[in-house]
Amino acid sequence: MTTLKKGDKAPNFSALDQDGKPHQLTDYAGKKLVVFFYPKASTPGCTAEACDLRDNFERFQANNYELLGVSADSAKAQSKFKDKYEFPFPLLADEDKAVIQAFGVWGPKKFMGKEYDGIHRTTFIIDENGIIDEVIEKVKTKEHAAQILK
């Protein structure tokens, strides 16, 4: 789905989080950034994935990582999701899909025999210089932190 790969410069995105605070790639210069795209807030797989990242957040911080979750949900939906599960990282409300499109994770999907367009669960690990270090397309929702923190 995505055309971005290891060694590519990460898209210089800009979007608002669940509280209306802006985030852009340049805010994270000098840190490693995990940008994880998920289909929909508060659904079982997305909840398992985000909770696994939350439960390992101290390990991410110890390794100089920042985390950003992204979906096309509204700021209100993202805020409820973040508050309910006490996520220590921001969730971008990318309703116009600008960040989702920039990273190339929007496209045709299949679920229970039906085809539709949606977000492909994909994670990008971006280094301190804004270069993509890894693209994880086969996300294991319950073990995602282990996939990132090898």
Instruction: Write a three-state SS string for 59-71.
Output: HHHHCCEEEEEEE
What amino acid is encoded at 66 in this protein?
E
Show Cβ contacts of residue 87 under 8 Å, excluding neighbours closer than 6 positions: 50, 53, 54, 69, 81
Q: CA nearest 147: which of 5, 136, 59?
A: 136
* 46 given a catalytic annotation: yes
pLDDT digits (tens, 9 = 90+) for 66-102: 999 999 999 999 999 999 999 999 999 999 999 999 9
pLDDT digits (tens, 9 = 90+) for 25-67: 999 999 999 999 999 999 999 999 999 999 999 999 999 999 9
- Reading the block at residue 110, the tokens are 């299949």
CA angle at residue 74 from 68 to 80, to 5 degrees?
75
The Cα–Cα gap between 99 and 24 comes to 10
Q: Identify the active-site residue in 4, 34, 41, 46.
A: 46
The model carries a pTM of 0.95
Task: Work out the burial of residue 103: count CB atoms within 10 Å of its CB; fewer than 13 is exposed, 13-18 middle, 19 or more buried.
Answer: buried
Please report where in the chains the tokens 């492909």 appear, as a residue: 120
Reply yes or no on whether the pLDDT at 19 is more than 90: yes
